[in-house]
Amino acid sequence: SQQGEEDPQALSIQEGENATMNCSYKTSINNLQWYRQNSGRGLVHLILIRSNEREKHSGRLRVTLDTSKKSSSLLITASRAADTASYFCATAPGNTGKLIFGQGTTLQVKP
């Protein structure tokens, strides 16, 4: 399988704490995207980081990419109960729009 691995599979934290999720992948990529999904609904696009970028920020989100280790991390700072969701990383290999998803990290933020 070309799917990535996400770690941890589940994460439970208190409101206000930071949450870090990691993603590893197998093939060389053009970009890596992070998504959020609430209760089996549609995926919400969070951030895209290209293979020539090392770090990207968007609001309370910080994404890093290490192409030498084929890994990425998503940091959510000052988490809120509304951040409770599943988070997926998806890689786009080569010149294609085909996204390969990891199994996701389920994040629970307790109020």
Partner 1 sequence: KAGVTQTPRYLIKTRGQQVTLSCSPISGHRSVSWYQQTPGQGLQFLFEYFSETQRNKGNFPGRFSGRQFSNSRSEMNVSTLELGDSALYLCASSLAVRDEQYFGPGTRLTVT
User: Which residues would be at the binding site for partner 1 (CB under 8 A)?
Assistant: 3, 30-31, 33, 35, 40-45, 48, 88, 90, 92, 95-104
Whichever of 37 and 108 has its CB closer to partner 1, that residue is 37
Residues in the chain: 111
Distance in Å, CB of 17 to partner 1, minimum: 27
Q: Any residues with CB less than 8 A from the CB of 71 and at least 6 apart, and which? A: 22, 23, 24, 25, 65
Q: Which residues pair with 50 in a beta bridge?
A: 31
Shortest distance, position 85 Cβ to partner 1, whole Å: 14
Secondary-structure percent of the chain, ordered helix, strand, coil, rounded to 5: 5, 55, 40
Residue 35 CB, shortest distance to partner 1, in Å, is 7
Contact (CB, 8 A) for 90 and 101: yes
Query: Which is closer to partner 1, CB of 30 or CB of 64?
Result: 30
Specify the residue, 8 or 16, whose C-beta has the smaller distance to partner 1: 8
Give me 97's structure tokens: 């729009």
- In this complex, which beta carbon is closest to partner 1, that of residue 68 or of residue 96? 96
